[in-house]
Structure formats: C-alpha cells, structure tokens
Amino acid sequence: MDEDWHRRISIHDISPREYMYFPKGVLEQSKPGEFSFIEIIHILLAIGALSIAFTFTLTKNSILWSLIGYNIDFHRLLEGIPYALLGVLTAFTGHELSHKLMAQHYGLWSEFRMYNLGLLFSMFFAITTGFVFAAPGAVMFRGEPRIFEEGHIAAAGPTTNIIIGAATLPFIVFSKGLFSRHIGFICVINVILAVFNLLPLQAFDGIKIIRWSTTIWLILFIISIILLILILPYITLVSTF
C-alpha cells in the first residue's frame, strides 16, 4: 500500500513552460541512482561551466586582475583546470546528487536541470572579475513529499558538503605544500556552499529544513559556521596559486 501511495503522489501534471525541461516519458519513476540522458547532459554541462569559472578564479586570470598588474597566464590557467574540476565535482555534484538520491529514496521523480543564464553569468563574472557567482541549476522533483521528507531532501545537500568539508579540513590546518593547498580548496568550496545553502532564505535549503525541524537546521548551520571560522585564515592560501 505504501508503494501505491508513493506512485500516486509522485506523478503530477506540469505546465507547458516546465515541459521544455521535461521531455516526454521522463516523469516515470526511477530507482535511486538512475539518470535520464538529458539529466546526464545537464550535469556535464553544469560541471564544465562551473569548472571553467572556478579555474579563472583560482589562477587569477581575469580582466580585472590583469588591470591591477596580474598578467593573464594561459599555462597557469591550464594547470588550474583539474583542481577546479575536483572542487566542483565534490561540492556541486555531491550536493545536487544528494538531493536527487534522497528524493528518489522517497519515491519521487527527481532530476537535475541546469540554469542556462546562471551558468553563462557565472562564467562571464569569473572571466571579467575573477569571482564566482555560482548559479548552476537545481534538482527538481515531482510529487507531494511530507514535511519530514522534504526536510530530509533539503538537508541531504548541505550535510554532504559539511562531511566533505570536515574530512578535508586537516589538509588546510595541519599540512603544507601544493597538494595540501589544492585539497584545501575542496574544503573551502564545500564549507562555503554549505553555509550559503543553509541560510534561512526563500528557495534555499535552510528554510525547507526549518519547516521540518528548527533544531536540525540549527545544528547544521552552527557546524557549518564553525567550519567557516576555522578555514577563514587559510582561504586566501588555498583559493589561489
């Protein structure tokens, strides 16, 4: 009966505007871990765009940096790509896939969709200023999750970032060398993403978690803030090379 209930509430009609993002047939329920072809394309494009953006930030190759004395160095730009990619894979991909898998766990149709303008703006802003304003897209799901289910889905992303951030923190605090600096970047990007998404603002994970449990939100937010405070002295060291 529980299975029938999940099936009944998981498939909803969607508007013509949304149909641009959901080709025919993709609203069928899938097992946890299953991806559609269009979702894979969206994920890969988002990873590529964000990696390009963070590469320009990491290597200080931007129009703004060139105006204040940093020459554009294409060799350094190429060197930064694998480290930016590693950071994006752990932070962005880990965050979004955690949302997706949790939603699928509760019987909901769930897929990632990139935000075209957000990705273009992220790259443009990084190339011109050297800073990243990441708006890659989001995991969408169809159905009517109960309050605790929506809370679990929302909490899954920031929790993953917190775990990765905490696991890589020692590379910043106790280790030295180029390798540690770049692994430290993974810590920085994950912690910042966790704090940002836990803000109690509309459309953020934080407000959805609060609707379910203020206590859980407070615990996650406090942990993320503590991690942020711990990495603050090292952000400049690990975010450029």
Asked if 96 is an active-site residue, the reply is: yes
Residue 30 has φ and ψ, to the nearest 5°, of: -125, 160
Q: Which residues contact 78 (CB under 8 A, 6 or more apart)?
A: none
Whole-number Cα distances in Å, 227 to 27, 144, 180, 223: 39, 34, 17, 6
Q: 232 and 191 in contact (C-beta within 8 Å)?
A: no
Nearest CA-CA partner of 15 in 135, 142, 184, 191: 142
- Nearby residues of 241 by Cβ (< 8 Å), 6 or more positions away: 58, 59, 76, 79, 80, 83, 178, 181, 182
Q: At what angle do helices 178-198 and 205-212 cross, to 10 degrees?
A: 60
Distance CA 145, CA 149 (A): 6
Which of these is catalytic: 3, 28, 34, 96? 96
- Amino acid at the residue 43: I
Mind telling me the catalytic residues? 96
